[in-house]
């Protein structure tokens, strides 16, 4: 006697195997997607976990022979001071984290323009110092600027996977400048806090320039204001350079 269920049993087993294989395939795709979404990390010395670099006596010029400093007109002034002569510099007036990918650099002997990211990669650095954000914070909330920073960090790690990355918080603006533009002083403090958090989760080293320059009103003191409310005096830059020299981490395996 023919059992009407007997002929269905093998198909049920086959369907079960197919379902299992399908579930495994979906699980593997999910793992691959999760790995693809996992952000890449910067180079971090195992003995000096990010984001804080320990304080020590000032580091000599030899530490910066494979370093590049990235920024806007403030970084231009750092280069002009000549206090860290062994480093490379990539700066552009008005440049912020959202515009580092714009091709705005011309190189003698080259027919094409280059972006700041491409210029940094050409230096083949093992250390990258970044102070970008003062321009962005003049117009945008800190969350917007941090989001641009994270995109920039992704690009830098992809282009320079062997480089340790240091990020400097933006100095505050003067009281008069912030009043004129309608900026709440707490925006700069909020940016510094969130930049440190970004550095912690991406294995970057954080240098808190904001905290060593801010006054009790959350603004740039007059003694450090060059006169326009944005740029700093030489004394403020000297504090910045001293902080950079006093908070360095050895390159791994050296």
Q: For 120-159, what is each residue's pLDDT tens digit?
A: 999 999 999 999 978 888 888 999 999 999 999 999 999 9
The domain defined by 61-246 folds into Rossmann fold (3.40.50)
Q: Where are the chain's structural domains?
A: 9-37, 61-246
Q: What is the per-residue pLDDT for 204?
A: 98
Instruction: Judge whether 117 and 130 are in contact, CB under 8 Å.
Output: no
Query: How confident is the model over 8-51, as pLDDT tens digits?
Result: 344 444 454 444 334 444 444 443 343 445 678 999 999 999 99
Tokens linked to 142: 């800190």
Angle value at C-alpha 141, between 139 and 143, nearest 5 degrees: 140
Find the range with the poorest average confidence among 77-86, 94-103, 176-185, 245-254: 176-185
Tokens linked to 137: 């914070």
What is the dihedral angle through the alpha carbons of 244, 250, 251, 254, rounded to the nearest 10 degrees?
150
Confidence of residue 182 (pLDDT cuts 50, 70, 90): confident
Tokens linked to 252: 């791994």
Angle value at C-alpha 41, between 243 and 154, nearest 5 degrees: 90
Q: What is the per-residue pLDDT for 229?
A: 67
For residue 108, the SS3 value is coil
């Amino acid at each position: 006697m023919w059992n009407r269920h007997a002929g269905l049993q093998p198909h049920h087993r086959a369907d079960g195997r197919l379902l299992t294989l399908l579930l495994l395939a979906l699980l593997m795709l999910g793992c691959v997607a999760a790995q693809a979404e996992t952000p890449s990390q910067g180079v971090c010395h195992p003995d000096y976990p990010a984001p804080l670099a320990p304080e020590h006596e000032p580091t000599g010029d030899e530490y910066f022979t494979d370093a590049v400093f990235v920024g806007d007109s403030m970084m231009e002034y750092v280069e002009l001071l000549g206090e860290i002569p062994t480093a490379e510099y990539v700066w552009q007036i008005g440049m912020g984290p959202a515009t580092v990918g714009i091709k705005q650099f011309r190189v003698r002997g080259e027919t094409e323009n280059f972006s700041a990211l491409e210029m940094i990669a050409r230096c083949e650095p093992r250390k990258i110092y970044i102070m970008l954000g003062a321009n962005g914070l003049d117009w945008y909330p800190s969350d917007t600027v941090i989001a641009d920073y994270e995109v920039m960090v992704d690009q830098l790690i992809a282009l320079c996977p062997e480089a340790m990355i240091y990020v400097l918080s933006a100095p505050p603006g003067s009281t008069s400048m912030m009043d004129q533009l309608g900026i709440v002083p707490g925006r700069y403090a909020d940016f510094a806090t969130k930049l440190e958090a970004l550095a912690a989760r991406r294995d970057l080293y954080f240098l808190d320039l904001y905290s060593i320059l801010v006054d009790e009103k959350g603004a740039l003191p007059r003694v450090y204001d060059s006169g326009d409310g944005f740029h700093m005096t030489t004394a403020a830059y000297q504090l910045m350079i001293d902080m950079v020299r006093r908070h360095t981490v050895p390159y791994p395996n050296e």
